[in-house]
Amino acid sequence: MRHSGEPYLTHPIEVAKILTILKLDSPSIAAGLLHDTAEDSKISIEEISKEFGPTVAQLVDGVTNIGKIVFKTKEERQAENFRKMILSMSKDIRVILIKLADRLHNMRTLQHHTPEKQQWIAQETLDIYATLANRLGIGWIKAELEDLCLRYLRPDVYFDLGDRVEKKKDEREKYINEVIEIVKRSLAEHGFKADVQGRSKHFYSIYQKMQKQGIPFDEVYDLAGIRIIADSKFNCYGILGVIHSLWSPVPGKFKDYIGVPKSNLYQSLHTTVICLRGERVEFQIRTEEMNKIAEEGIAAHWKYKEKGQIDERDRMVFDWLRQLVEWQQDTKDSMEFLDFFKVDMFADVVYVFTPKGDIRELPKGSTPIDFAYSIHSDIGNQCVGSKINGKIVPLRYQLRSGDAVAIMTDPKHMPHRDWLKIVKTQRAKSRIKQWIKVEERRRSFEIGKNIFERELKRHNLNQNELQRHPKLAEALKQFNVPNIDELIVAIGYGKVSAHQAVNIFSPEKVVQEKEVSKKRPKSAKVGVKIKGIDDILVQFSKCCNPVPGDRIIGFITRGRGLSIHTKDCPNMDQLDYNRDRMIDVEWDVTEKQAHPVEISVLTLDKPGLLANVSSAITTSDANISHAEATTREDKKAVLDFVVDINDLEHLKKVIEKIQQVEGVLNARRVRRG
């Protein structure tokens, strides 16, 4: 039973009747009859689908979903978002029309509710549904909803207006009929075929006019006006000429909505003239078709078509729909986009609720992380999880219109580089990047400081001395950094080598080193003995970076002397066909010599690991000349180092140390093929 005491069935039947007036198709009318079943009975959408087909089921589902949206606020800006949310949730325009019919009948029978509930529903109807009806161009539903809303929101005004209009009615009707007769005669004289009707303003628009212009009822002159339905667009203008030749137009009151239609496709000529006995009368002149659009809106365009056969006119309707919801993006392929019934106007936005009931608009595909950043950067940075409609979801969950989103935060938590791959909004992206940049700088500073200080120590220098060092300015200039801290960061990033940097402050040692390296190829001091050959140019290959202890072999290059590879160097396969250029060599370690070795470390992606691994390397007496961290999609990170290694034993020790660091999965020497 309804509150009125009538059988509940009367409601769905009345809703279905309204849908027939809108001339909707049979699935819509069926869905109108069934619209409350999913919510108010034990019938499931699946059962409806089985009994009545998937289209009816989808429509009922759509109406049910809109019914679940809770309107918590009366603010205007929120109302617009609610309207958008409704439109975005109803992928099919018929869902909105069924919902409008539902609301219209509920408003017609609102007298059976408590005054509080009446006010609440009426306000919501005025804010959301009357506006939607207007946007969809359905003038009669808009007018009826507005009048019903006025009745419950301002009963004093409503009934007062009723009395006044009633009192003036006879007098007004008599006057209008007099005008109509004159117009009819005059149009016939000029050979125009047209239908001339009187029309009265609905209460809410009278009320709006009084409010807007701050005038009493008696000064609202156009309580009734005249509508002329012409047989062609061309004749609308001709008839306008006849009216203006009968009576003088009021300046500024002429509107050509035929030449420039309203955004809801409304077309008509409007003019106000000083009519019989000096009274102002408004004329609306339009064709039958324009009149239909003014009253029925989208429903006037309702046609059944095979998919893919969208003509210019339908295109216009959908353009209109797009416009009325302030479609902002340029759709490249409107034909593809406008699958006839499917008005996926918000293909790329979703509307979700904050815990306070506000609505946020986000691009489609947005995740809880995007939502968190849309609230506040700190909430984004500290976001550890999310609840959607009370249920915990993964952070890569894609938000859907109507979702109520709550973010769980942890002040100790930090943004993750992988987030960049799942977030959708520019805001979230730039905030995460910003954070990573700051964090990377911090880590680079740590690593750089470590490398730099070791290098300084080797040169018997310390950082404090550098601040006053005469070569400071020269060094900063050469590496294009403003101060020592930035130089350290550059070293940590691997942009500048600690060697190079310290060489500027303490060049003597460099000369010595250069001498060593010059001598290196020429004698046994290089650390390699060559059987039977003396005085030959030797270089250690860059592909396998041999260290003392490796099994090695020499390869006689053309013009670059003897190149030393490890026996298991991946390049040996290629060199193999030149066996006669191979030469046996062995280590002669009379002198400790640092050899650069590439070490690649696979770790969990946790903050601080780069610093921990770096310190494991340096505590095993190895110098890091380059360090680089790369995060992978699988929540792991790869840390690449170039480390100065004395010999194989030393290398083993370093790798062992690295593997002892918590979070390290694997460490290996890199050989390039």
Question: Which residues are catalytic, by number?
Answer: 39-40
Check binding of 403 to Mn ion (CB under 5 A): no
Q: How far is the CB of 10 from Mn ion (least distance, A)?
A: 11
Residue with token string 């609840």: 387
Q: How far is the CB of 36 from Mn ion (least distance, A)?
A: 5
The residue among 324, 403, 366 whose CA lies nearest residue 135 is: 324
Nearest CB to Mn ion, comparing residues 36 and 92: 36
**Cα 244 to Cα 224: distance, rounded to the nearest angstrom:** 19
State the residue number with the nearest CB to Mn ion. Answer: 102
Q: How far is the CB of 98 from Mn ion (least distance, A)?
A: 9
Q: How far is the CB of 102 from Mn ion (least distance, A)?
A: 4
Dihedral through CA 582, CA 588, CA 593, CA 594, nearest 10? 40
Nearest CB to Mn ion, comparing residues 36 and 146: 36
Phi-psi region of 480 (alpha: psi -120 to 50; beta: other; left: phi over 0): left
Residue type present at position 338: L
With contact defined as beta carbons under 8 Å apart, do 393 and 382 qualify?
A: no
Q: How far is the CB of 55 from Mn ion (least distance, A)?
A: 19
Nearest CB to Mn ion, comparing residues 66 and 490: 66
Nearest CB to Mn ion, comparing residues 12 and 27: 12
Residue with token string 């409704």: 86
Kindly give the residue spans of alpha helices, DSSP state H, lying in 325-425. Answer: 334-337, 368-375, 377-381, 419-422
Name the pairing type of β-strands 582-587 and 595-604: unpaired
Check binding of 36 to Mn ion (CB under 5 A): yes
Binding segment (CB under 5 A) for Mn ion, from list 99-107, 362-370, 537-545, 585-593 = 99-107
Check binding of 14 to Mn ion (CB under 5 A): no
Q: How far is the CB of 42 from Mn ion (least distance, A)?
A: 17
Which residues, other chains included, contact 122 with Cβ-Cβ below 8 Å and sequence gap of 6+?
Answer: 107, 110, 148, 149, 151, 152, 153
Other beta carbons within 10 Å of 452:
23
**Cα 469 to Cα 471: distance, rounded to the nearest angstrom:** 5
With contact defined as beta carbons under 8 Å apart, do 303 and 289 qualify?
A: no
With contact defined as beta carbons under 8 Å apart, do 506 and 461 qualify?
A: yes
DSSP letter for each residue of 129-197: IIHHHHHTT-HHHHHHHHHHHHHHH-HHHHHHHHHHHHHHHHHHHHHHHHHHHHHHHHHHHTT--EEEE
Binding segment (CB under 5 A) for Mn ion, from list 100-108, 354-362, 442-450, 495-503 = 100-108
* E-strand stretches of 394-479: 405-409
Nearest CB to Mn ion, comparing residues 110 and 489: 110
Nearest CB to Mn ion, comparing residues 102 and 605: 102
The residue among 267, 428, 443 whose CA lies nearest residue 363 is: 428
Other beta carbons within 10 Å of 115:
9
Nearest CB to Mn ion, comparing residues 36 and 296: 36
Q: Applying CB under 5 A, what is the total number of residues that bind Mn ion? A: 2
- Look up residue 386 and give its DSSP letter: E
With contact defined as beta carbons under 8 Å apart, do 98 and 28 qualify?
A: yes
Nearest CB to Mn ion, comparing residues 106 and 614: 106
Nearest CB to Mn ion, comparing residues 33 and 547: 33
Q: Which helix (H) or strand (E) holds 631?
A: strand 623-631
Nearest CB to Mn ion, comparing residues 8 and 159: 8
* CA 264 to each of CA 74, 198, 293, 480, 549: distance values in angstroms, whole numbers, following the listed order: 24, 24, 9, 61, 84
With contact defined as beta carbons under 8 Å apart, do 547 and 569 qualify?
A: no
Name the pairing type of β-strands 562-566 and 636-645: unpaired
Q: How far is the CB of 609 from Mn ion (least distance, A)?
A: 59
Among 14, 102, 127, 296, binds Mn ion (CB under 5 A): 102
Nearest CB to Mn ion, comparing residues 12 and 415: 12
From edge to edge, which strands make up the β-sheet containing 552-556? 528-530, 582-587, 552-556, 562-566, 538-540
Binding segment (CB under 5 A) for Mn ion, from list 78-86, 102-110, 221-229, 578-586 = 102-110
Binding segment (CB under 5 A) for Mn ion, from list 34-42, 245-253, 314-322, 649-657 = 34-42
Helix (H/G/I), strand (E/B), else coil: 521:
helix
* Torsion sign (Cα): 353, 358, 362, 368: negative
Q: How far is the CB of 35 from Mn ion (least distance, A)?
A: 6
Q: How far is the CB of 31 from Mn ion (least distance, A)?
A: 11
Q: How far is the CB of 237 from Mn ion (least distance, A)?
A: 45
Q: Binding pattern to Mn ion, positions 55-94, x when CB under 5 A? A: ----------------------------------------
The residue among 350, 372, 364, 348 whose CA lies nearest residue 431 is: 372
* CA 274 to each of CA 108, 140, 279, 320, 578: distance values in angstroms, whole numbers, following the listed order: 38, 28, 6, 35, 109
Restricted to residues 136-195, the positions that interact with Mn ion (CB under 5 A) are: none
The footprint of Mn ion (CB under 5 A) covers 36, 102
